[in-house]
Amino acid sequence: MLVLLVEDDPAIAASLREGLARFGYDVEWVTTGGEALDADPPGVVLLDLGLPDMDGLDVCRRLRARSNVPIIVITARGDEVDTVAGLEVGADDYVAKPFGVREIVARIRAVTRRHAGDATGEATEPAPPAVALGAVSVDVAARRVRRHDDEVALAPKEFDLLVALTRRVGSVVTREALIDEVWDSHWFGSTRTLDVHVSALRQKLGPEIAITTVRGVGFRLEHADAP
């Protein structure tokens, strides 16, 4: 598989190229957003947000607009807003520096496995029918969400997470169950990814829907005005 590595730090790039090669990946290394957008289509993109010529978020957005290629954001930024923004514009996952090659490989395998399943139409269970939750409606077949008749733009994993929660409205869904269903049963990454996606859903769905954190267990979705 060809990995497009978009990273302007030569030391990090050299380490990743060497490490990924040991796992059988071919790596094309570019240092700017412009080069990333001009590159041949890869199997997966590892994208640093801090690029010298343009914002990595814009690169992610433009890559997603023209392709369904799996994108993993690599960032040194600690601000959750940047992480959420990356997921909102189409990234499938993120990893914060410093990291190990094995972690990167595990995430590459997870996102590519998930995309392969989407492409072949495989599913672990039939998609549920459209669900109405007060002012919010979730059309699973069309992968569309509306709030007060206005469409809500969700990243792919945000939508999958919302569907997983709507299947058990009013019940607590464990963190492990959500990761297995939305990401991959062989997921080895940080569960922080789940928290970021939940945070994004809360912001986008507004006060009509409540996603409650049950400490140490998981999350529960319900109408905000439910008793």
pLDDT digits (tens, 9 = 90+) for 103-154: 788 888 888 887 776 554 554 444 455 678 888 888 877 778 988 888 888 8
Residue type (1 letter), 58 = D
Domains detected in the chain: 2-120 (3.40.50.2300), 131-223 (1.10.10.10)
Q: What is the DSSP letter of 206?
A: G
Half-sphere exposure of 38 (CA within 13 A, CB side): 7
Is residue 224 pLDDT above 70, yes or no?
no
For 21-69, the pLDDT digits (tens) are 988 999 999 999 999 999 999 999 999 988 999 999 999 999 999 998 9
Is residue 2 pLDDT above 90, yes or no?
yes
pLDDT more than 70, % of the chain:
85
For 207-219, the pLDDT digits (tens) are 878 899 998 899 9
Q: What is the DSSP string of 61-93?
A: HHHHHH----EEEEE----HHHHHHHHHTT-SE
Angstrom CA distances, 14 to 35, 39, 76, stand at 18, 19, 17
Work out the mean pLDDT of the chain and round it to a whole number. 83
Provide the pLDDT for residue 3.
Answer: 96
What would the two tokens of residue 127 be? 């998609």
| Whether the Cβ atoms of residue 189 and residue 95 lie closer than 8 Å to each other | yes
Residue bearing the bigger pLDDT, 174 or 128: 174
Provide the pLDDT for residue 119.
Answer: 54
Provide the pLDDT for residue 30.
Answer: 97
Q: What is the DSSP letter of 55?
A: B
For 71-112, the pLDDT digits (tens) are 999 876 555 666 777 778 888 888 877 777 887 888 888 888
